């Protein structure tokens, strides 16, 4: 069928491959609904690629649980075949990624890598896309990723990847339905009513093709009808081949078809000629997954079950991929095979970092686990709970863990009980159930202390130290951290050693003790030396989180190193936490647009847990509050709903301090006192001078007579509480925190007030600026600077009214020419406005500008409404 209405996409792909060949690699995400013609578009493009360009394909299949790294290994196999080198079946995931990066980088020839149907991708394959996408500029490669955009739910993992890989070297293309004019062109000479074809198909190219190819005496109303009309024209032998292929997602090796059906040559040729199947090297495949599903749906259940059993038998003999074995065992309802292959597939998936797939395989096994012995069921449940813990599937984790704990208790297995109790402790803390978490870990320790001391007890001690560290219980954190460290060193357990050192270091650093940074750096060194990637990521994360309030320059260094390390080693679970603290660091440094963008980007993640969202929520709320933007209360209400019930200073303190600050801007001193008091109540018996200092400062603002022990609060706050505005301003300047410096100067005489006003206006502050102006007027000051125009001051990024209008229309997806027509401007003027917007928002693309607009609350503040009725001037 002729390729119509795809010239724009072909030209854009051509531009990207040219860029990849001459300057730096590019990535193109090609989205569209099922049957939109994404594969046809990419196939046409690759045929035009020219000599000397390597084209490498990898496919995701619609298996019950996705093949681990399936498309990635296909690409490596194609590369190896092209270069005449051996594959690398024994490589670790990290080595595999690095090998592919090397082969796609100069001086190797230009490559086009196509990864198809990434909406079905396993977690490890998505990690590869992240890995390559973050380094795409180093390569001579155009990476094309196709996916069904109508299947991406808000929580779909591919959506997160799309959000992360943006910028000037990443592009998104959409393949839309065909217009009526295109269908009319395709329908010429077929005897079909083009308008009716377009009405039935909605312009979906695959459906259009099927309708136009159907017998003239039928008018198929669905894709299924159209495909089955073709099938009924086939001989019995061709139908048998087609039905067999429909039971194997992806492609069916011809050798498999011969093993089950004998000589299939003529029958396969007929199915290909009829347009149902196509040859794919030494395999058969449907032209589209929609066709496969249509044929599969016609096979009676009992017959399908028998065929799956036959397919399974042959695949087992050939040592096929474990995910394929699980798929066919499940459809064959072969419980024995499922219980053999699903746990093995889960283990393989977990080893490759595809933890979501490991969860799915274990869940499949658990549905058929009644025939297993109690110890086998307990181990299976514990494995499932562990993988659910890794993937943040809290409720499923708790359910399996509790069932496993019951079984281990019935069996009298002390070590098993302790393992699961420690797992429950982690999950309960993540859920905000801190008391339950402490109880589970204490019980695990009590059980393990009845056994010979060793690695398990060391891990339990370190778990208790971690919970105490998070709860700001300093003495307990240090005591159990040291116990864990001693046992870990004695038993040679480097993982527990790194964990315990991390707990001790974080506790010392946050409580004002000595040696905290050194302990954390020791934890990092042990982790790096022994390739303990998650522990290294945790060391970086806690260095950043602990240093942000007190040593921003060092925090910035570890933020950069930690982000790079986690991205390089795919320690994805810690990146949201590190990036959320990046938002708070940017806020402290006065980079408010950067802070709001960073926070908004992390808050958009549908898979983020509540505790991971807290730093970003607080940072975003404070940016908006200090700017004077709307939406602050809603953000802080969300944060409070999770933080306050935990009664944990780490969570309650920052939220309470932010709520007190907002209340102060509103002049509500009663609420300032209440919010600060709620935070200080959580601080009783705990120690964190920075959190306690901020809370005590706001509490003192509401009640000047309140006595505060300066030993309990960080020095800058102690100076502010004591009324030493000059000393406090110097301390904040030393820390590189301009807003806090302006806050301290606001308590000084006229000269200090003027300096405070200058700082605040440079930051774009709203409420505090008004307070300082009022104080200057009350002091009788003359020549008070007026500040920026109201229209510019009304939005966070300092955009003009016209720029706000342009940005609001960008949010709606308008092109430059549409913007020019709408605003009665020339296209050149619109381009200048967009360039100015990108510069002020510190972004590189229109997509990032739209994200920043929502993150900063610019459009929400009413810009979109203004734009709709905008006129020229």
Q: Say what the pTM is.
A: 0.80
Mean of all residue pLDDT scores within the chain: 90
Confidence of residue 867 (pLDDT cuts 50, 70, 90): very low
In terms of DSSP bridges, do strands 170-174 and 277-279 run parallel, antiparallel, or are they unpaired?
Answer: unpaired
Round to whole Å and give the CA distance between 514 and 404.
42
Helix then strand count (H, E) for the chain reads: 46, 8
Task: State the residue for tokens 């102060």.
Answer: 664
pLDDT in tens, 771-784: 999 999 888 888 88
pLDDT at 862: 37
Whole-number Å distance between alpha carbons of 800 and 833:
10
User: What gap in Å lies between CA 695 and CA 675, rounded to an integer?
Assistant: 9
Sign of the CA dihedral with 554 first, then 595, 572, and 77 last: negative
Residue 847's pLDDT band (cuts 50, 70, 90)? low
CA distance 538 to 546: 12
Tell me, what DSSP letter sits at residue 149? Answer: G
CA 495 to chain CA centroid, nearest Å: 26
Q: Can you list the pairs that 360-366 forms with residues at least 24 positions away whose Cβ atoms lie under 8 Å?
A: 360/64, 360/65, 361/65, 361/323, 361/326, 362/387, 363/396, 364/64, 364/65, 364/326, 364/330, 364/338, 365/338, 365/339, 366/400
Specify the DSSP element, H or E, that contains 697.
Answer: helix 689-702
d(CA 368, CA 340): 11
Given this model, what pLDDT does residue 788 score?
A: 57
Distance CA 784, CA 554 (A): 37
pLDDT at residue 219, rounded to an integer:
63
pLDDT at 182: 95
Q: Given this model, what pLDDT does residue 866 score?
A: 36
Residue 796 confidence (pLDDT): 55
pLDDT digits (tens, 9 = 90+) for 322-334: 999 999 999 999 9
- Average pLDDT rounded to a whole number, residues 809-837: 77
3-state secondary structure of 361: helix
Give CA–CA dist 707/201, Å, rounded.
75
Strands of 487-584, DSSP E? none
Helices (H), 434-493: 434-448, 455-470, 474-491
Q: Please name the helix (run of DSSP H) or strand (run of DSSP E) that holds residue 28, with its range, or none.
A: strand 26-32
R_g of the chain, CA atoms, integer Å: 31
Bridge partners of 30, per DSSP, are 146, 173
**655 vs 854, more confident:** 655
Conformational region of residue 542, where left means phi above 0, alpha means psi within -120 to 50, and beta covers everything else: alpha
Phi, psi of 432 (to 5 degrees): 90, 5
Q: Cα separation of 69 and 71, whole Å? A: 6
Q: Which helix (H) or strand (E) holds 57?
A: strand 54-59
Helix (H) or strand (E) holding 148: strand 141-148
- The CA distance from 721 to 715, in Å, is 10
Reported as type and span, the H/E element at residue 97 is helix 93-103
DSSP H/E element including 145: strand 141-148
Contact indicator for 1, 275 with CB cutoff of 8 Å: no
Q: Which DSSP helix (H) or strand (E) runs through 141?
A: strand 141-148
Note the pLDDT of residue 513.
82
| 28 neighbors 145 (Cβ within 8 angstroms) | yes
Helix (H, G, I), strand (E, B) or coil at 27: strand
Q: What is the pLDDT of residue 797?
A: 64
pLDDT at 803 > cutoff 50: yes
More confident residue, 314 or 153: 314
- Structure-model confidence comparison of residues 778 and 823, the more confident one: 778
Q: Chain centroid to CA 545: how far?
A: 20
Q: What is the DSSP letter of 397?
A: H
Q: Tell me the three state secondary structure of residue 392.
A: coil
The token duo for 832 is 């200048």
Confidence of residue 864 (pLDDT cuts 50, 70, 90): very low
For the beta carbon of residue 813, count every other beta carbon within 10 angstroms: 9
Residue 26 has pLDDT above 90, yes or no: yes
Distance CA 306, CA 262 (A): 17
What pLDDT does 824 receive? Answer: 72
The H or E element containing residue 56 is strand 54-59
| Confidence class for position 2, pLDDT limits 50, 70, 90 | confident
* Tens-place pLDDT, residues 379-435: 999 999 999 998 889 899 999 999 999 999 999 999 999 999 999 999 998 888 989
pLDDT at 855: 61
Report d(CA 118, CA 149) in Å as an integer: 10
- The Cα-based distances of 352 to 125, 145, 358, 595, 808 in angstroms read 10, 21, 10, 34, 43
What is the three-class DSSP state of 798? Answer: coil
**Cα(648)–Cα(291) distance, integer angstroms:** 55
Question: What is the sign of the dihedral through the CA atoms of 679, 682, 688 and 692?
Answer: positive
pLDDT at residue 458 is higher than 80:
yes
Max CA-CA distance within the chain?
Answer: 101
More confident residue, 865 or 648: 648
Of the pLDDT bands very low, low, confident and very high (cuts 50, 70, 90), residue 84 is low
As a 3-state breakdown, the chain gives helix, strand, coil percent values, each rounded to 5, of 70, 5, 25
pLDDT given at position 870: 34
State whether residue 278 is helix, strand or coil.
Answer: strand
Residue 453 has pLDDT above 80, yes or no: yes
**Which residue's structure tokens are 């503040």?**
861
For residue 58, the SS3 value is strand
Going by C-alpha positions, the residue among 126, 10, 13 that lies closest to residue 60 is 126
DSSP 8-class letter at 863 = I
The neighbouring-strand residues paired with 252 are 284
Q: Report the C-alpha gap between 99 and 93 in whole angstroms.
A: 10
Per-residue confidence (pLDDT) for residue 505, from 0 to 100: 97
pLDDT (tens digit, 9 = 90+) per residue, 466-477? 999 998 899 999
pLDDT for the residue numbered 178: 94
Sort strands 111-116 and 54-59 into parallel, antiparallel or unpaired: parallel
Average pLDDT over residues 144-168: 89
Most confident by average pLDDT, 395-404, 569-578, 639-648: 395-404
Q: For 411, phi and psi rounded to 5 degrees?
A: -85, -10
46 Cβ contact partners less than 8 Å away, ≥ 6 residues apart: 55, 112, 114
Beta strands 141-148; 111-116: pairing state: parallel
Question: Is the pLDDT at 90 greater than 80, yes or no?
Answer: no
Pairwise CA distance, residues 583 & 563, whole Å: 13
Q: What is the pLDDT of residue 851?
A: 64
**825 versus 679: which is more confidently predicted?**
679
Residue 635 has what pLDDT?
93
Higher pLDDT, 106 or 855: 106
User: What values do phi and psi take at 280, rounded to 5?
Assistant: -135, 90
Pick the range with the lowest mean pLDDT from 205-219, 277-291, 426-440, 716-730: 205-219
Distance, in Å, from the CA atom of 31 to the CA atom of 483, rounded to the nearest integer, reads 54
CA distance 51 to 73: 24
pLDDT digits (tens, 9 = 90+) for 175-193: 999 999 999 999 998 888 9
Q: Cα(711)–Cα(691) distance, rounded to whole angstroms?
A: 13
pLDDT-derived band at 850 (thresholds 50, 70, 90) equals: confident
pLDDT by residue (tens digit) across 263-275?
999 999 999 999 8
| Integer Cα distance of 88 and 632 in angstroms | 53
The whole-number average pLDDT for the span 628-652 is 89
Confidence of residue 86 (pLDDT cuts 50, 70, 90): low
Whether 872 shows a pLDDT value over 50: the answer reads no
Percent of residues, the chain, with pLDDT higher than 90: 67
Is residue 230 very low, low, confident or very high in pLDDT (cuts 50, 70, 90)?
A: confident
State how far Cα 375 lies from the chain centre: 36
DSSP string computed for 187-231: HTTTT--HHHHHHHHTT-HHHHHHHHHS-TT---SSHHHHHHHHH
Torsion-angle region of 512 (φ positive above 0: left; ψ -120 to 50: alpha; else: beta): left
What would the two tokens of residue 347 be? 């283990």
Q: Which two tokens stand for residue 259?
A: 């093993």
Lowest-confidence range among 237-246, 368-377, 706-715?
706-715
Q: Which residue, among 57, 133, 74, has the nearest Cα to 101 in the 3D structure?
A: 133
Residue 778: CB atoms within 10 A of its CB come to 9
* Cα 257 from Cα 285, distance rounded (Å): 12
State mean pLDDT over 354-365: 96
């Amino acid at each position: 069928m002729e390729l119509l209405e795809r010239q724009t996409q072909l030209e854009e792909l051509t531009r990207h491959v040219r860029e990849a060949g001459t300057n730096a690699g590019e990535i193109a995400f090609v989205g569209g609904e099922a049957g939109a013609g994404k594969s046809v578009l990419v196939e046409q493009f690759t045929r035009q690629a020219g000599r000397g360009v390597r084209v490498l394909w990898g496919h995701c299949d619609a298996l019950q649980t996705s093949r681990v790294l399936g498309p990635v290994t296909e690409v490596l196999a194609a590369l190896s075949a092209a270069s005449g080198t051996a594959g690398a079946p024994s490589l670790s995931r990290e080595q595999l990624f690095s090998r592919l990066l090397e082969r796609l980088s100069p001086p190797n020839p230009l490559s086009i890598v196509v990864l198809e149907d990434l909406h079905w991708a396993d977690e490890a394959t998505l990690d590869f896309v992240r890995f390559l996408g973050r380094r795409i500029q180093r390569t001579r490669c155009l990476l094309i990723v196709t996916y069904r955009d109508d299947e991406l739910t808000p929580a779909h993992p591919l959506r997160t990847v799309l959000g992360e890989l943006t910028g000037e070297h990443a592009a998104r293309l959409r393949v839309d339905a065909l217009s009526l004019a295109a269908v009319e062109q395709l329908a010429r000479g077929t005897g079909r009513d083009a308008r009716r074809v377009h009405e039935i198909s909605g312009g979906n190219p695959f459906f259009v093709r099927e309708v136009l190819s159907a017998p003239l005496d039928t008018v198929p109303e669905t894709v299924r009808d159209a495909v089955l009309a073709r099938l009924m024209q086939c001989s019995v032998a061709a139908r048998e081949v087609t039905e067999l292929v429909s039971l194997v997602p992806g492609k069916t090796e011809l050798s498999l078809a011969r093993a089950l059906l004998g000589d299939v040559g003529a029958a396969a040729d007929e199915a290909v000629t009829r347009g149902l199947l196509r040859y794919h090297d030494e395999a058969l495949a449907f032209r589209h997954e929609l066709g496969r599903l249509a044929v599969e749906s016609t096979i009676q259940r009992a017959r399908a079950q028998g065929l799956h059993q036959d397919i399974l038998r042959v695949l087992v003999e050939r040592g096929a991929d474990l995910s394929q074995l699980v798929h066919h065992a499940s459809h064959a309802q072969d419980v024995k095979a499922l219980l053999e292959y699903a746990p093995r597939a889960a283990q393989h998936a977990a080893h490759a970092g595809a933890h979501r797939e490991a969860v799915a395989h274990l869940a499949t096994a658990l549905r058929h686990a009644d025939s297993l012995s109690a110890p086998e069921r307990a181990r299976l449940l514990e494995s499932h709970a562990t993988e659910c813990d890794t993937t943040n599937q809290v409720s499923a984790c708790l359910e399996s863990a509790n069932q496993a704990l019951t079984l281990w208790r019935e069996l009298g297995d002390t070590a098993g009980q302790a393992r699961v109790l420690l797992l429950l402790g982690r999950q309960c803390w993540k859920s905000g159930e801190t008391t339950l978490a402490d109880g589970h870990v204490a019980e695990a320790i009590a059980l393990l202390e009845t056994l010979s001391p060793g690695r398990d007890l060391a891990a339990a001690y370190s778990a208790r130290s971690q919970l105490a560290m998070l709860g700001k219980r300093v003495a307990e954190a240090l005591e159990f951290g040291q116990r864990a460290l001693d046992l870990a060193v004695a038993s040679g357990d480097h993982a527990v050693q790194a964990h315990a050192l991390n707990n001790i270091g974080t506790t010392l650093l946050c409580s004002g003790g000595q040696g905290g940074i050194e302990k954390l750096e020791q934890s990092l060194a042990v982790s790096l030396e022994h390739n303990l990637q998650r522990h290294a990521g945790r060391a970086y994360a806690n260095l950043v989180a602990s240093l942000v309030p007190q040593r921003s320059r060092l925090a910035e260094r570890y933020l950069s190193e930690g982000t790079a390390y986690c991205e390089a080693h795919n320690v994805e679970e810690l990146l949201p936490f590190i990036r959320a603290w990046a938002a708070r660091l940017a806020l402290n440094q006065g980079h408010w647009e950067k802070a709001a963008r960073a926070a908004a980007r992390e808050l958009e993640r549908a898979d983020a847990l509540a505790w991971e969202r807290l730093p970003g929520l607080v940072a975003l709320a404070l940016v908006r509050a200090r700017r004077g933007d709307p939406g602050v209360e809603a953000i802080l209400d969300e944060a409070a709903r999770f933080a306050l019930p935990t009664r944990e200073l780490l969570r309650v303190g920052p939220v309470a301090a932010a709520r007190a600050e907002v209340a102060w801007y509103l002049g509500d001193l009663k609420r300032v006192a209440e919010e600060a008091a709620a935070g200080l109540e959580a601080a009783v018996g705990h120690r964190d001078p920075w959190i306690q200092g901020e809370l005590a400062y706001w509490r003192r603002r509401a009640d000047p007579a309140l006595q505060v022990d300066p030993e309990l609060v960080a020095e800058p706050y102690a100076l502010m509480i004591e009324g030493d505005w000059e000393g406090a301003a110097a301390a904040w300047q030393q820390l590189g925190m301009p807003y806090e410096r302006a806050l301290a100067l606001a308590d000084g005489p006229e000269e200090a007030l003027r300096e405070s006003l200058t700082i605040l206006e440079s930051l774009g502050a709203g409420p505090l600026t008004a307070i300082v102006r009022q104080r200057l007027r009350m002091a009788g000051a003359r020549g008070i600077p007026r500040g920026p125009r109201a229209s510019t001051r009304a939005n966070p990024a300092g955009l003009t009214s016209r720029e706000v209008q342009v940005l609001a229309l960008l949010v709606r997806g308008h092109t430059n020419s549409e913007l020019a027509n709408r605003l009665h401007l020339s296209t050149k003027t619109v381009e200048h406005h967009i360039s100015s917007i990108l510069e002020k928002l510190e972004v590189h693309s229109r997509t990032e500008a739209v994200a920043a607009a929502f993150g900063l609350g610019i459009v929400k503040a009413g810009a979109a409404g203004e734009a709709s009725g905008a006129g020229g001037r």
